[in-house]
Every structure is written in C-alpha cells, then in structure tokens.
Amino acid sequence: MNTKITTTRPPIVAVMGHIDHGKSTLLDYIRKSNVTATEAGGITQHLSAYEISIPHQGANGIQQRRITFLDTPGHAAFTGMRERGAVAADIAILVVSAEDGVKAQTIEALNTIRAAKIPFIVAINKIDRPGANIDKAKQMLAEQEVLVEGYGGDISWVPISAKEGTGITDLLDTILLVADVEDLQADPSAHAEGIIIESRLDPKRGITATLVVKNGTLKKGQFVVAGTAITTTRIMENFLGQTIPDADPGTPVQLVGFDTMPEVGVPVTVFDKKRDAEKYIEERATSDYSKEARPEDGEKVVPIIIKADVYGTVEAVEKEIMKMNIEGLHIKIVTKGIGAIGETDIKQAQGDKNTIILGFNVDMDNRARDMQEKVGATIQTFDIIYKLTEWLETELEVRRPRVETREVIGTAKVLKTFSKTKDRQVLGCRIDSGSITDGAKVSVVRRDFALTIGTVVELQQAKQKVKEVTEGECGILVECKNDIAPGDILEAFVFTSK
C-alpha cells in the first residue's frame, strides 16, 4: 500500500498590476538583475519565473524558505498571459503606484485575481517619489472593494520602494506568512504536475518551454506532455540555466526538445514510458477538434501570418488582432509561429496577395528579404505592441470594402428646350433645390422614371457663363444620348464612398 507523503511546498507568486507601476523593478531588486533594460520601450513582454531563497523566522527558528515568482506583464495586450499567471500562482501581489493609484490594468489584474480565487497582497510602490500619496492609493483601492488592513479590511499591504529596496523584506515575510495560512502542500513522491508558462524556439537548441511544478517531482528519464507536444526530461534546467537532476514542487524548470510548440497555460502530464505519452496525445488530438469561424457573406478575407520570439507573445498579438472589428472584413490567422520571418512565410503570402505578415521582436532572414522584393508581400515588424495594433488598424481601414451611394446635390425643372446639335441640347431650367454645377453628372427624370444620364457642359444665368447656379432660372447645355423634353427633371448627383 502506497502512503501519500505531503510536505509544505514553496509558494508560487504572481506579480501583477498596471503598466509602469514597478512590477519588474520589484523583481529586479529581489533577484539583483535587470530584465527591463533589454525590453523595448521599457515594457515587460514575456512571462518568466524566478526562484529565490531567503531566511525566515518561523516556529522552528530561522529557516531558508523558497519563493517562486511569476513576472506577469502589465500591458493591456497581455491579459491572457496574466490570466495564466494567476492560474499557476498560489498568491498574487497587486502592485499599485503611490503616485498614480488604481489604473485600468490594476482593475484588470484585480479581476483576474478574483476570478482565480487566490489570496493577494497589495504592494503600494514608489513611496520614495515626491508625489506619493499612500492614503489616496488606499482610498482608490477601497473604491474597488479592496479594503486593506488598517483601512477597514483584512487584506495585507506593504509600503515599498522597489527602486530603493524599502519594505522588500517585509513584503517577502508577508508572502511567507500568507503561504503558511494557505498551508500549501505537495507530495514529492507523486508524478509531477505543473503548468507551461512560456515556450519559444531557440535557434540552437530547438523548442524549449518553461513550466512550474505544482505537485510531485519531475525526474530525468520521464516524458512530459503539454497539450499535444511532447519532450523528454533529458535536458532540464533551473531558471539560472543550470542543469538539474530533478525538480520538486514549486520549482520553475526549463525543458528542451519539444517536438512541437506547447501552448502556454496548458497543464503538463508526466509519463514514465514514451508509448503511454504518445497514446495520451493521440486521444487528446481526437477530442480537441474545433471549427474555425467562417466569413459572413460579402466579407473580404484578410489572411494574417504572425511570427514572434516566444509563444506567449504570439498569443498576445493574436488576441489583439482578433479584437479588431472592421466592417466588411474577416480577419483570418492562417499561421502563427516562433522565429524570424522566413522563406516559407513569404511563399504562403504569395498565394494570396491580401496576406499580411506581422513580426514581433523578430526580423526577416536574408532569403525572405530577397523574396519579398519579388513577391511584394506586405510585411511589417514591430517591437512595441501598440504600434503594431495602430498600424494594422490603419491598414485594415484602407482595405475595407467601400459602398458607393449616389447623392443628389441639386434639382432643376426643364421649362423649355432649344437647339440640339448631335448629343448636346440647350435647356431653359429653374432650380428647385440645391445647386447645379458646371461639369456635373445629371440624371434626366421623366414621370419618376430615370430616362438617361447626362453631363452639364455649360451653365448660363443672366446671359453670363457661370460655374454654379443655386436659385432662379438658367440656361443649361447638357450632353446626353436621349432627347430632353419640357417637364423633365434634372437631378445633379455625386457618388460618395462609405
């Protein structure tokens, strides 16, 4: 009989909040490194995991305790990545600026935390700034029904300066206290269970993915399945890139050698035998069929190819694109992948001249660049998400099918007819509405029936040539195929496009 052995495991913590409120600076201080300096525009755009070990005073004296952090991006485009972070996490830290208080993505992050039903700690950051107002931040939180300790509620909060390091020790101690209350348990003897939090294509090593182990122990010689992707644990590394023999509960680990790109956010299943893993994948592939949305009648299809540096970013870009709702257009993501824009992408675009290739944090390889000049494909690369969406919205608006409508801008009643030469006829008319201009297109209407279309060749009023007549009687020289009779109505019109 197997006895389940449980032990306390390290908490997995998601750091969440509005863009530029100091989430990455907080983690940078904790792990004494700088991630943000390598990110374009200072925006964190990948979800990563980091593990720390700190001394903590507990019931049994001072002990080294581990904490795993998930750095979830604050930009609005990465809601999906934040949602995965909250699902993978046991505790969340809601970072709120003491200067700005609660902002749009603060509320989004709060909603994500509540949906995940996990406890959270409020870290009021930037208390070192001249404009810091902790009470105002607390009041704004209270308006979102977040009542912190000492302000009518029981939610733990810590004032910090991520830049200066003020309050960081208190924050870490608070995390461990909340973890103790939650009584996080795991069975190290079980098969590992975890969640994929990032995947990417390494040009030298192939497809790699980061997962966080939530229960059990991941060991060398096992087979890991994520969705329909599979790999062995032959190459297993910690967050520092160091090879490790196994990964116990709470550990973030990088696996190398997946056969296909695993989707982020999916749980992993571990097998001892490859044939069992392959059988599991086959069963999943059969049950995961889904139908693709079809374009409505008359909609113009715009195929889009997405290439990015990591899978999480591909997903975020796709989510932003699919939010766009341009009348008359059906956006279709034909392929999405990791790595540089290559020859295969150009060839695929060649099959449909309407295809757009979007690259995020990637370039075009040389062969693709040579092909682009011949094919003339629409290719754009970006390293800031809002620049990509701004460009694409403009491009789609240009491509939107236009509907032309005829707008009547003036009417004139034919009072008399005069000389006619070939297709030209002189008419005596009275303006009934609007105006008639020289060169205007006119519809000749007889008893509510459009007889023919003509063109105003010349206008006269008071025996003087004019460019426009807005009232009274006038002479109009019209060029058209049919004879015009007294009583006919001339309707001047223009085509407008919407």
Phi and psi for 233 in degrees, rounded to 5? -100, 30
User: Is the domain of 48 the same as that of 129?
Assistant: yes
Which helix or strand (DSSP H or E) is residue 370 part of? helix 366-375
Place of tokens 């999916």: 266
Domain C-terminal end among 233, 259, 287? 287
Residue 131 lies in a domain: yes
Please choose, from the candidates 442, 381, 391, the residue with its C-alpha nearest in 3D space to the C-alpha of residue 413: 442
Residue 1 lies in a domain: no
CA distance 121 to 29: 18
User: Is the domain of 155 the same as that of 200?
Assistant: no
| Domain total of the chain | 4
User: Is the domain of 255 the same as that of 106?
Assistant: no
User: Is the domain of 418 the same as that of 464?
Assistant: yes
User: Is the domain of 167 the same as that of 209?
Assistant: no
Residue 244 lies in a domain: yes
Strand, helix or coil for residue 146:
coil
Strand, helix or coil for residue 307:
strand
* pLDDT of res. 1: 43
Instruction: List the alpha helices (DSSP H) in 243-292.
Output: 274-287
Q: Residue 373 belongs to a domain with what CATH number?
A: 3.40.50.10050
Tens digits of residue pLDDT in 423-470: 899 999 999 999 999 999 999 999 888 889 999 999 999 989 999 999
Domain C-terminal end among 124, 155, 185? 185
Residue 123 lies in a domain: yes
Place of tokens 């902002």: 103
User: Is the domain of 283 the same as that of 415?
Assistant: no
Give this prediction's pTM.
0.67
CA distance 62 to 20: 35
CA distance 349 to 383: 22
User: Is the domain of 77 the same as that of 219?
Assistant: no
- Whether residue 56 contacts residue 173, with contact meaning beta carbons closer than 8 Å, is answered with yes
User: Is the domain of 112 the same as that of 13?
Assistant: yes
Instruction: List the alpha helices (DSSP H) in 35-167.
Output: 79-88, 104-116, 134-143
Domain C-terminal end among 366, 399, 432? 399
Which helix or strand (DSSP H or E) is residue 454 part of? strand 449-461
User: Is the domain of 207 the same as that of 181?
Assistant: no
Residue 328 lies in a domain: yes
Please choose, from the candidates 346, 348, 399, 404, the residue with its C-alpha nearest in 3D space to the C-alpha of residue 376: 346
List strands edge to edge, sheet with 120-125: 48-58, 61-71, 12-17, 91-97, 120-125, 157-159
Q: Residue 204 belongs to a domain with what CATH number?
A: 2.40.30.10
Domain enclosing residue 234, as ranges: 193-287
* pLDDT of res. 466: 95
290 Cβ neighbours under 8 A, 6+ residues apart: none
Which helix or strand (DSSP H or E) is residue 219 part of? strand 218-219
User: Is the domain of 354 the same as that of 389?
Assistant: yes
CA gyration radius, the chain: 34
Residue 295 lies in a domain: no
| Per-position pLDDT tens, the chain of length 498 | 455 678 889 999 999 888 888 888 898 888 774 444 555 565 555 557 888 888 877 767 788 899 999 877 666 666 666 666 767 889 999 999 999 999 988 998 898 888 888 999 999 999 999 999 999 999 999 999 999 999 989 999 999 999 999 999 999 999 999 999 999 999 999 999 998 888 888 888 888 999 999 999 999 999 999 988 899 999 999 888 889 999 999 999 999 999 888 877 788 999 999 999 999 888 766 554 444 566 776 788 999 999 988 878 888 899 899 989 888 899 998 888 888 888 878 888 887 888 999 999 999 888 888 888 777 779 999 999 999 999 999 999 988 887 778 889 999 999 999 988 888 999 999 999 999 999 999 999 998 888 899 999 999 999 899 999 999 999 999 999 889 999 999 999 988 777
Residue 292 lies in a domain: no
CA distance 321 to 77: 10
* pLDDT of res. 41: 60
User: Is the domain of 177 the same as that of 131?
Assistant: yes
Residue 49 lies in a domain: yes
